Structure 1
Amino acid sequence: MKRSKRLFGEVDGRPVYEYTLENSHGMQLSIMDYGAAVTAIKMPDKKGNVQNIVLGFDSVAPYVAYRPFYGATIGRVAGRIAAGKVVLEGKEVQLMVNEGKNHHHGGIPAFESRFWEVDEAATEGTLVFTYLSPDGENGYPGNLTVQVKHSLTEENEWKIHYTATTDKTTLFNPTNHVYFNLSGDHTKGVLNHMLQLESDQYAPLKEDSIPTGSLLEVEGTPFDFRELAPLKTGVESDHPQTVANRGYDHPFVLRQSADHPAGQLVDPESGRRIRFYTDRESVVVYLNNWVEGAYEIEGRKVQPYSGIALETQMLPDAIHHPNFGETILKPDEAFYSETTYQFDTL
């Protein structure tokens, strides 16, 4: 397993470094210490052509300028929290409101805009990033110590391990916001990619993208990915939920299985495939629906549907919906979660 490090730019006068792992098959995983963000995943297609299959820039500057969440570690809580108001141990806590009237992706700035400490002595094939989120950051109580370990295996697996502890009761529901485009060319988009999910239910959204609290059956809707189906299904549908969101930006409830993939993504043209496994209860599927060509990758404007995010997490806004699972972390607890993406070609 090879490991390298290069200067990736600077933020506020502090250097940013990109770290790359490469296995014996030539697969590469690159992550920078700003936002603990994945900047590239390179792998061959069915003809052996090696390309970057995630959206990312070639320096840190556009990440700072546009804050697109590409490959970023998201937290403390992924997704939206209604009105930013939560009750913890009987006390109302007001989180930062940074999207309309709601709290979004941990506030501004959050995990994706922080420097993370890198363990230079990590074991072979791993990159370990640590961040101390101070008490009161964006309204969250407690000093929260977060560690994210990324691993690249010889089986072409990218593993993400999250661990965290806090000294006060707080909320924690992290994810990684990587956008996949298995064609290796963002201008081709992902609408012809095929998606399959082990999911019988999805969470509908209100106008402000906060979940309604209900869970609906996918059968007979454009949210039915129990068998492989093209992503353009939702974009072309007249379903009120997909029309309002220009496609998918929705949580899907996953059937839990330790030894069976929670889903898969396939690009028929390149032959590339991703299967993913997770201990989280849901995956949020988002197709970069609202990007408006304000910036470029490799000299070409990034347009809607240029990538697909598969954000494994507990259901968003769970603190307000008892049926959505637990996102409270207490001082006597240790958080642990793992998601694995496995890459191959058909």
Structure 2
Amino acid sequence: MYNYKLPKEKYFEHQIHEKNTHLLILRNSSGMEVAFTDYGARIVSIIVPSMQGHPTDVVLGFSHINHYLEAQEQYHGACIGRYAGRIAEGTFSLDSNSYTLAKNNGPNSLHGGKEGFHTKVWDRRVHIGNSLEFYYSSPDGEEGFPGKLNACVIYTLTDDNKLIIQYRARTDKKTIVNLTNHTYFNLNGEGNGDILNHYVQLHADDYLPVNEHLIPTGEQQSVEGTAFDFRNYKPIYKDITQDDEQLKVARGYDHSFVNKESIATPAAAAYSLSTGIKLEVFTTEPGIHLYTGNFLSGADSGKSGKSYLPYAGLCFETQHFPDSPNQLHFPSVVLEAGEEYISETHFKFSLHKD
């Protein structure tokens, strides 16, 4: 295990689309440090102590802004929008008006399209204390989405090692919105093997099966008796290689789970036996999308210099369901002009106790 340090600020001083980028750091009294960049309003690193007392970076990412620009995997740590997840055939309708989006994932639109929010340099308000606020104004028609959307994401670090993420958005025309964060976590430590030995729990009785293009079929299927039953902690390796068509088509877990917990109760959690680091996820969202890094290829090398192979990290993407604009029985992702989109997610770190 290498000595975990924050990336150097000078390596994130760059200019993209005539806007300056930076590395910004929040620290708390418990020794937790979180680094961000305004490129994609993204999380670059999260350093927390292990049970051995070692500072451990639990986030996949890079030590230089250029590596984010050149990476095969573009979503590391980023704020995803306008629409997190896949939209089938890159099309949807609102009030009998059809909209066509960029297809950047086979026949689908994924995570807001080729030039989604993850590619934008967000503006930043001066932060006071332990909060950072990023905002971005997406013009009407950007990536095919209707309406000018003013989006904001606020990160707050508390002294009890909780990172609070608050999303806000307003539009001047009826549109769809589904924002999330796409941090890859490895609680063994970034670059320290894969996440197959992570113990995961999801307080979900149902999940969304997908078709061959990873679009939800529209059903909510019980996890009972399936590889998707995480109601009690189990290691990811236990069922990920089951002879299950859902796991085969996604090469692992790339599925949304139906969340019925309030933000006061953890909807998901994971921990590492080697470091003892535990992550709990709290959210207002109706879904948690579990992605086990199945399509990481090894083409990118991270902060430790190690290649990011399949299963190098896992994501808990708190969001509305994929393809909701085309599946009207799913919770609505429509935002009316004059209304405010509000969403909140907490990532809380502690040490696992048996």
TM-score (norm 2): 0.94
- Aligned counterparts of 2:245 and 2:229: Cα–Cα separation in 1: 15
Instruction: List aligned pairs for 1:180-199, cutoff 5 A.
Output: 180-199=185-204
Match of 2:276 among 271, 274, 278: 271
Task: Please name the residue that 1:303 is paired with.
Answer: 309
Q: Which amino acid in the other structure matches residue 262 of structure 1?
A: A
Question: Which is further off, 12-21 or 155-164?
Answer: 12-21
SS in 2 for 1:242: helix
- Aligned counterparts of 1:34 and 1:257: Cα–Cα separation in 2: 31
- Does the 8 Å CA contact 1:5/1:17 hold for their aligned counterparts? no
SS in 2 for 1:41: strand
1:181/1:215 CA distance change after superposition, 3 Å = same
Instruction: List aligned pairs for 1:320-339, cutoff 5 A.
Output: 320-339=326-345
Instruction: List aligned pairs for 1:113-124, cutoff 5 A.
Output: 113-120=119-126, 122-124=127-129
Instruction: List aligned pairs for 1:5-84, cutoff 5 A.
Output: 6-7=9-10, 8-12=12-16, 14-66=19-71, 67-84=73-90
- Does the 8 Å CA contact 1:5/1:20 hold for their aligned counterparts? no
Deviations 1:153-190 (A, max 9, x none): 00110000000000011110010000110111424110
Instruction: List aligned pairs for 1:237-256, cutoff 5 A.
Output: 237-256=242-261
- Aligned counterparts of 1:204 and 1:234: Cα–Cα separation in 2: 16
Shift of 1:11: 4.3
Task: Please name the residue that 1:86 is paired with.
Answer: 92
Task: Please name the residue that 1:107 is paired with.
Answer: 113
- Aligned counterparts of 1:85 and 1:303: Cα–Cα separation in 2: 32
- Does the 8 Å CA contact 2:83/2:179 hold for their aligned counterparts? yes
Task: Please name the residue that 2:205 is paired with.
Answer: 200
Q: Which amino acid in the other structure matches residue 287 of structure 2?
A: S
Q: Which amino acid in the other structure matches residue 159 of structure 2?
A: E
Shift of 1:25: 1.1
- Aligned counterparts of 1:97 and 1:272: Cα–Cα separation in 2: 38
SS in 1 for 2:137: strand
Q: Which amino acid in the other structure matches residue 105 of structure 2?
A: E
Shift of 1:51: 1.4
Q: Which amino acid in the other structure matches residue 308 of structure 1?
A: L
Deviations 1:201-240 (A, max 9, x none): 0101111111111110001001000000111134221111
Instruction: List aligned pairs for 1:155-234, cutoff 5 A.
Output: 155-234=160-239
Q: Tell me if 1:281 matches 2:289.
A: no
SS in 1 for 2:22: strand
Shift of 1:320: 1.4
SS in 1 for 2:52: coil
- Aligned counterparts of 1:48 and 1:220: Cα–Cα separation in 2: 39
Shift of 1:5: 9.2
Instruction: List aligned pairs for 1:253-264, cutoff 5 A.
Output: 253-264=258-269
CA RMSD in angstroms comes to: 1.5
Match of 1:140 among 106, 123, 145: 145
Shift of 1:305: 0.4
Q: Is there any run of 5+ residues in structure 1 with no aligned partner, and where?
A: none
- Does the 8 Å CA contact 1:77/1:174 hold for their aligned counterparts? yes
- Does the 8 Å CA contact 1:234/1:247 hold for their aligned counterparts? no
Q: Is there any run of 5+ residues in structure 2 with no aligned partner, and where?
A: 1-6
- Aligned counterparts of 1:46 and 1:244: Cα–Cα separation in 2: 37
Task: Please name the residue that 1:314 is paired with.
Answer: 320
SS in 1 for 2:309: coil
Shift of 1:14: 4.5
SS in 2 for 1:233: helix
Task: Please name the residue that 1:153 is paired with.
Answer: 158
1:43/1:84 CA distance change after superposition, 3 Å = same
Deviations 1:303-326 (A, max 9, x none): 110000000001111111122201
- Does the 8 Å CA contact 2:59/2:183 hold for their aligned counterparts? yes
- Does the 8 Å CA contact 1:261/1:277 hold for their aligned counterparts? yes
- The structure with the greater share of residues assigned to strand is 1
- Aligned counterparts of 2:13 and 2:123: Cα–Cα separation in 1: 16
Q: Which amino acid in the other structure matches residue 62 of structure 1?
A: H
- Does the 8 Å CA contact 1:5/1:19 hold for their aligned counterparts? no
- Aligned counterparts of 1:341 and 1:187: Cα–Cα separation in 2: 21
Task: Please name the residue that 2:4 is paired with.
Answer: none
- State the 4+ residue runs in structure 1 displaced beyond 3 angstroms: 11-15
